[in-house]
Amino acid sequence: MSGAAVAAKRYAKALFEVAKDKGAIEETQAQLAAVAEAIGGNAEVRAFFDHPNIGSDVKIRALKDAVGGKVSDHVMNALQLLVERGRGSAISAVLSAYISIADEALGRAKASVTSAFELTEEQQDEIARQFSALTGKKITVEPAVDPSLLGGVRIRIGDTLYDGSLATQLAEMERSFNKAR
């Protein structure tokens, strides 16, 4: 893990602990996401926060003008700390780490579901239900389509891959036939 990723995780963990104490985990995530989108989604704003010749006091003033009163004090404090320490552009990384920490703490997980064809809402709900029972977590399905799978689905939850695709089954069958020769 890179130094920037380790730092982002530390900031996210500290912010999560404060948010948990205040009972504002979801609110904090939403506010952090809005700020990360505003900064990360605009090259000029990102360049402003990355510029080494602009003092942190100017950056903090700009940040307060932009989001002051729109985010909670603990989010603003975390943002100020990031800017003061020259990590203003790391807000997206902090958000990503925060989401992971919050999901783990709240028993949530995302399932990246890749299928050969677009899944219906009912199929997505069924996958979420089955994998919620399997993992003990509330599963949110993120569907994707990959025609090369031919059929079936490939589901990734965290570091675990559940591969029920026809392409993989055919490849395994071919390997077993080649071994039998």
pLDDT at 155: 95
How many contiguous H segments (helices) and E segments (strands) does the chain have? 8, 4
Edge-to-edge strand order for the sheet containing 160-163? Answer: 138-145, 108-115, 153-157, 160-163
Task: Identify whether residues 92 and 143 lie together within a single domain.
Answer: no
CB distance 98 to 74 below 8 Å: no
On whether both 78 and 113 belong to a single domain, the answer is no
Asked if residue 97 and residue 15 are part of one domain, the reply reads yes
Last residue of a domain, one of 70, 104, 138: 104
CB atoms within 10 A of CB 77: 14
- Residue 70 shares a structural domain with residue 127: no
Which band of pLDDT confidence, cut at 50, 70 and 90, is reported for residue 1?
Answer: low
pLDDT tens, position by position, 118-154: 999 999 999 999 999 999 999 999 999 999 888 889 9
Domain boundary among 104, 133, 156: 104
Verify that 66 and 130 share a domain, yes or no.
no
In this model, does residue 41 exceed pLDDT 90?
Answer: no
Across the range 49-55, mean pLDDT stands at: 88
Claim to verify: residue 56 and residue 144 sit in the same structural domain: no
145 lies in the same domain as 63: no
Helix, strand, or coil here: 22?
helix
What residue numbers bound the domain in which 15 lies?
3-104
Q: What is the mean pLDDT of residues 101-128?
A: 95
Is residue 180 pLDDT above 80, yes or no?
no
Q: What's the CATH number where 32 sits? A: 1.10.520.20
pLDDT digits (tens, 9 = 90+) for 10-20: 999 999 999 99
Number of separate domains in the chain: 2
Contacts of 125 (CB under 8 A, 6+ apart): 141
Q: What is the mean pLDDT of residues 43-66?
A: 89
Whether the Cβ atoms of residue 152 and residue 164 lie closer than 8 Å to each other: yes
Q: Which of 81, 104, 127 is the last residue of a domain?
A: 104
